Structure 1
Amino acid sequence: MSDTSILIIEDDEHIGQILTFILQRQGYQTTLAADGLAARKAIDSATAPPSLVLLDVMLPYIDGFELVHIIRQREGWQDVPVVMLTAKHTEKDIVRALDQGANDYVVKPFQPNELLARVRRHLREPA
């Protein structure tokens, strides 16, 4: 599983550290981008797309909705699963994220085991 890479885009340092820890403990390779500009740079400079993107909605500089659009426009990234991770939980926000091309939507605060189950589901791995 060590070739399974996850791009984490999260501006809250504590949540970013938690996500990195729980995903690495499961054997995933992780890259953390702490804001929208860092995420855009990571997307633009990647030699290969990640296996999955965990994406916060409310980010400095470039928000998660715009980043989903950027990811979907990037050659080779069209089928990368994108899981939005956010405190915004109105139906309008969820519909907007899914319409933009997100595959799933997890509301903060999240339960680590539920998040891992969703990650596995999108990576089509056995539980």
Structure 2
Amino acid sequence: MSRILIVEDNEMNRDMLSRRLQRRGFEVLFAYDGEAGVVTARSQLPDLILMDMSLPILDGWDATRHLKSDRATRQIPVIALTAHAFDGQRDKALAAGCDDYETKPVDLDRLLTKMNALLGLIPQSA
């Protein structure tokens, strides 16, 4: 069972996403701001992080930079989640160290495809 850390300050988004992932067999951890996300990632070492980019205390951009600069957490894939689908946001997320990008509201099938690819759960084509 893959452990997913959801770093999200919006309770409705966190609840909806966590329930949908748990039904698909994922173990879900939570953090409510970027600073707590970094601390939780370092202590729990999840298999993947879903990182909201608009977070209190430490935004998702800086939280991802911290995680990717730390030897203990740099290998953990991070998918940026943002409601701001402006031009350049995907590039900005990738430049911050995110491994992929998804807009809100989340298209669960598309997100699961990205998650499974980063977790190595999709068989590689020959």
Q: TM-score, normalised by structure 1?
A: 0.89
Q: Read off the aligned partner of 2:118 and give its amino acid letter.
A: H
SS in 2 for 1:85: strand
2:55 to 56, 59, 68: 59
Look up the match of 2:38.
Answer: 40
1:34-62 CA distances to partner (integer Å, 9 max, x unpaired)? 11232133134x15x21100000000111
Q: For this pair of structures, how many residues does the alignment match?
A: 123
Offset at 1:126?
Answer: 3.2
Q: Tell me the C-alpha RMSD between the 2 structures.
A: 1.5
Look up the match of 1:100.
Answer: 96
Gaps of 5+ in 1: none
Gaps of 5+ in 2: none
Report the identity percentage. 31
1:69/1:113 CA distance change after superposition, 3 Å:
same
Q: TM-score, normalised by structure 2?
A: 0.89
Confirm whether residue 13 of structure 1 aligns to residue 18 of structure 2. Answer: no
SS in 2 for 1:55: strand
- Partners of 1:121 and 1:64 in 2: CA distance: 22
Task: Please show how residues 81-100 of structure 1 align to structure 2 within 5 Å.
Answer: 81-100=77-96
Runs of 4+ in 1 over 4 A off after TM superposition: none
Any conservation in 1 of the 2:41–2:73 contact (CA below 8 Å)? no
Confirm whether residue 69 of structure 1 aligns to residue 65 of structure 2. Answer: yes
- Partners of 1:81 and 1:119 in 2: CA distance: 9
SS in 2 for 1:105: strand
- Partners of 2:103 and 2:112 in 1: CA distance: 14
